[in-house]
Amino acid sequence: MTRTVYVNGDYLPEDQAKVSIFDRGFLMADGVYEVTSVLGGKLVDFGGHAKRLQRSLDALEMRNPLDEAEWLEVHRQLVARNGIDEGMIYLQVTRGNPGDRDFAYPPADLPPTVVLFTQSKPGLADNPVAKAGIKVISIPDIRWGRRDIKTVQLLYPAMGKMMAKKAGVDDAWFTEDGFVTEGTSNNAYIVKGSRIITRALSSDILHGITRAAVLRFAREAQMEVEERNFSIAEAIRRMRPSSPRPRPS
C-alpha cells in the first residue's frame, strides 16, 4: 500500500511528493516541526502540539500557513487515508523556496513549505521498553541556545544517539554546566517513590507536550513535583535501591 502524504495543500502518494532543492529547510534547516502520536486512531494532545507549533513559528518570524482547525483536518485526513491505528504524524513547516540560496530571509509573503506524513507503529501503547527501562550515557550539550524552539536542526541529537549506540546503550542525556538538560529526543526525569524531578522550562530545553501531561498526571496523583536542575550524580544516587533499615532489637 502506497502511503499518502501531504505537500503544500495536496494529498499525494509518497513517491510523487517533491520539495525544491532551494527550500530553506533543506539548505539551512530553516524550519520547525511537530510529531503528534496516534492511539486507537485518535490524535493525542493535538491542541498542545498546535500551540507549540505557533510558538516556534513566532520565534522564527515565520507565518503559520494554516489555522488550528485546518491543521486538525489535515491530521485527521492522513490518519484515515493511511489507516493509522497506532503511530504518529510528522509535520514540518519551512520558510519556503526563495528560488536561490541566500542567508537573508526572503520576503515575508513567500509561501512556506508544508509537509506531513504518517508512520505506523503497532504496539506504541504497550512498548516493553516502558517496563524494562533503557540505559543512557551522558554527553556534553553543545547545541544552540534556543532549544525551546522545535527546529529541524537535529544533527547533534542524531550524533548523540549514534554515540549511545556505539557505547552499547540505548540513548544519551545532554549535560551542561554539570546538570542534565534533556535527552536526545525526550525530556529527562528522576522518579523515585512519590517524587518526580525534572528541569524547569526555559530556553535550555524543549517544552515537551508529553512532559506537560506527565507532570499534570503526577500532580493529580498527589506526587511531589520538583522542577529544578539535577546532575547525573544525583540521578544515579536516587535511582539506587534504598538500603534496608536495621530492625530494632
In the numeric block, the cell 506504541 is attached to 124
Alpha carbon distance 78, 91 (integer Å)? 11
Alpha carbon distance 231, 210 (integer Å)? 22
Q: Is 165 a catalytic residue?
A: no
Yes or no: say if 115 and 81 are a contact pair by the CB < 8 Å rule: no
Q: Helix, strand, or coil here: 55? A: helix
End-to-end CA distance of the chain: 71
Yes or no: say if 34 and 53 are a contact pair by the CB < 8 Å rule: yes
Alpha carbon distance 246, 142 (integer Å)? 46
Which of 131, 135, 150, 161 is the catalytic position?
Answer: 150
Alpha carbon distance 200, 120 (integer Å)? 32
Give the distance, in angstroms, between the CA of residue 47 and the centroid of all CA atoms in the same chain: 15
Kindly list the catalytic residues: 150
